[in-house]
């Protein structure tokens, strides 16, 4: 399937699923495609795509002056612990270090 880069991936997947249902290719009670099948169809793993979008959102929020890690965690709907672990895993630093780093780049 050719993806539309102007449309978020989740909307592309939604439209693709709806299209299959409307064409009666999938019957009621049919199992939806696995993440592996979606990855093959869309050329990207949905989890990886969502992670990249989350990273982008966090970096954007970290640019706001006087923001705190707690405020960012709340805005991205993560617990503080999950947010701190996310920063360690994907940015290789603490949440506070990330904010300092991002604001220092401006």
Taking the model in full, what pTM does it have? 0.67
Largest CA-CA distance found in the chain, in angstroms, rounded: 54
pLDDT exceeds cutoff 50 at 2: no
DSSP string, 30-61: PPPPPHHHHHHHHSS-HHHHHHHHHHHHHHHH
Question: pLDDT tens for residues 21-37?
Answer: 888 887 778 888 888 88
Per-residue pLDDT at 106? 67
């Amino acid at each position: 399937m050719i993806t539309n880069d102007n449309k978020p991936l989740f909307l592309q997947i939604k439209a693709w699923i709806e299209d299959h249902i409307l064409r009666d290719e999938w019957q009621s009670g049919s199992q939806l495609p696995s993440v592996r099948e979606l990855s093959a169809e869309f050329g990207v793993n949905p989890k990886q795509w969502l992670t990249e979008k989350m990273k982008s959102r966090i970096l954007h929020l970290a640019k706001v002056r006087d923001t705190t890690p707690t405020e960012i965690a709340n805005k991205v709907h993560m617990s503080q612990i999950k947010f701190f672990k996310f920063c360690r895993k994907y940015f290789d630093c603490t949440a506070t270090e990330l904010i300092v780093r991002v604001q220092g780049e401006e």
